[in-house]
Structure 1
Amino acid sequence: MLLVLDVNETLLDVSALDSLISDVVGMPGDIARRIWFDRMIRSSMAITAAGGYVAFGALAAAALRDVAGERGGEVSMAQIERLAEGIRTLPAHPDVAPGLRRLRADGHRVVTLTNSVLEVAEAQLRSSGLIDLVDAVYSADEAQRLKPAGEPYRLVLEREHADHAMLVAAHDWDVTGAALAGLDTAFLGREGRMPFSAIAEPTYVARDLLELADLLAAN
């Protein structure tokens, strides 16, 4: 099976940015990071729904300025550069490397699809030691549309010459977009998250990649 894996939060641990964002925003790190990430995603969805496109890195910087500004703070260029470097060097979740090895050993083709531009995605996978554990790297930037719009998912199917695939992600909005684009889906419950209850359930729900590998092997 062709497995299409999201990167940020799904494979890589974004909590590594907690202290950096906390210093900028002036609130506890995990709270600041979640507010920043949610602002970034909300902005990307609004722009995408309106038919526009802004590179994900620009949205990350803008979201940090917005969240800091709401608390009366300003963000320097040096802080933006540290955020960019932090994103490029995020560590993998502990289950990811063994999970990817298991999935590939079980015969699945494993590719990644992220909203980050391709150069950043490749840098992330090299830094985290995952680049040799995936078969291909794709970016929504190549479609000039951010997930959960359908174009990025369809781009992967076209590039892979595949009629079918499964999207694996830790985000309910990503799973929703993939399902509406015709893919099967697997939701990873990072940080205790649950998928949307307003739509059809994901094909699989697992705690991490190793549990997902077990579920796929059993079916």
Structure 2
Amino acid sequence: MSFDPDAVETIAFDSYGTLVDVSAVAEPLSAHLDDRDPELVAKLWRERSLSYAMVGNAIDEYDSFYEMNRHALRYALETVGADVSEDEREEILSTYHDLPVFDDVHDGIERLRDAGYDCYIVSNGSEEMLESLLEYADLGDLIEDTVSADEVERFKPEPELYRRAADEIGTPIEEIAFVAAGWWDVPGGIHAGMQGVWINRQDTIWGPYETDPDLTIESFHDLADELESSGE
């Protein structure tokens, strides 16, 4: 299905990797790694946390994404042989509460709001993580509300969270444009019934799916341009 801007009433965003830059954890990691590559550790950490979440879905076990991150950080550090104490690991883990936003986020969401679209976050992040994200990233005036995996105890890309979000938002699911950087997340939104917008921030490769993104963008301004052009 191709993107239908005329059908969009509401916009929902993923959080980590979409609104805020998870690769920024490499800087605080570097202080604890001696000569090891902090970018490699950050990548291992991120990929392992997502893997833990997806396995949790498969075996019907749930713990908050913050806990998944805690276990994944330990895995990443031990994989590279870094000797980091538990207190230091907690200090590193806390950086998830103050990740920087991407440059296009504030202005892009303001344009979408000015065009009449309410904006939400739908995230695997815990409720506490999302509260701190809104505060640190100064998004409280731009985001109507957040929907956390904690509410359904299932992680994306399982359909339950996307559908819960549509119910809470009060917009028919097919009228929600879901924007995410995750090549695994956008197909989940599409499968649940949303229009899937892939913001390819990492210049990565789409998965080997029969499903394609309804729209691929490089910044939130591209989405605003697409929606504004439909109203002309």
Give the TM interval when normalised to the shorter protein.
Answer: over 0.9
Q: Are the equivalent residues in 2 in contact too, given 1:24–1:68 (CA < 8 A)?
A: no
Residue of 131, 134, 152 corresponding to 2:143: 134
Shift of 1:142: 0.9
Partner of 2:65: 56
CA distance in 1, matches of 2:84, 2:155: 25
Q: Does 1:191 align with 2:199?
A: no
CA distance in 1, matches of 2:111, 2:65: 30
Aligned partner letter, 1:139: S
TM, length-normalised to structure 1:
0.94
Partner of 1:18: 26
CA distance in 2, matches of 1:141, 1:166: 22
CA distance in 1, matches of 2:200, 2:134: 21
Residue of 104, 117, 123 corresponding to 1:108: 117
Deviations 1:13-54 (A, max 9, x none): 112211223444563222221121011111111111222212
CA distance in 1, matches of 2:84, 2:55: 23
Q: Does 1:121 align with 2:138?
A: no
TM, length-normalised to structure 2:
0.89
Deviations 1:118-148 (A, max 9, x none): 1210111110111211111111111111111
State the SS of the aligned residue for 2:28.
helix
Aligned partner letter, 1:20: P
Deviations 1:93-113 (A, max 9, x none): 010000010011111110001
User: Superposition RMSD on alpha carbons, in Å?
Assistant: 1.5
Q: Does 1:84 align with 2:93?
A: yes
Partner of 2:10: 2
Aligned residues: 219
CA distance in 1, matches of 2:37, 2:102: 21
Partner of 1:30: 39
CA distance in 2, matches of 1:210, 1:98: 8
Structure 1 ranges of 4+ moved more than 6 A: none
Residue of 181, 190, 197 corresponding to 1:170: 181
The higher relative CO (CA closer than 8 Å, separation ≥ 6) is in: 2
CA distance in 2, matches of 1:44, 1:13: 19
Q: Choose 1 or 2 for highest CA Rg.
A: 2
Aligned partner letter, 1:151: E
Q: Does 1:182 align with 2:190?
A: no
Shift of 1:202: 0.9
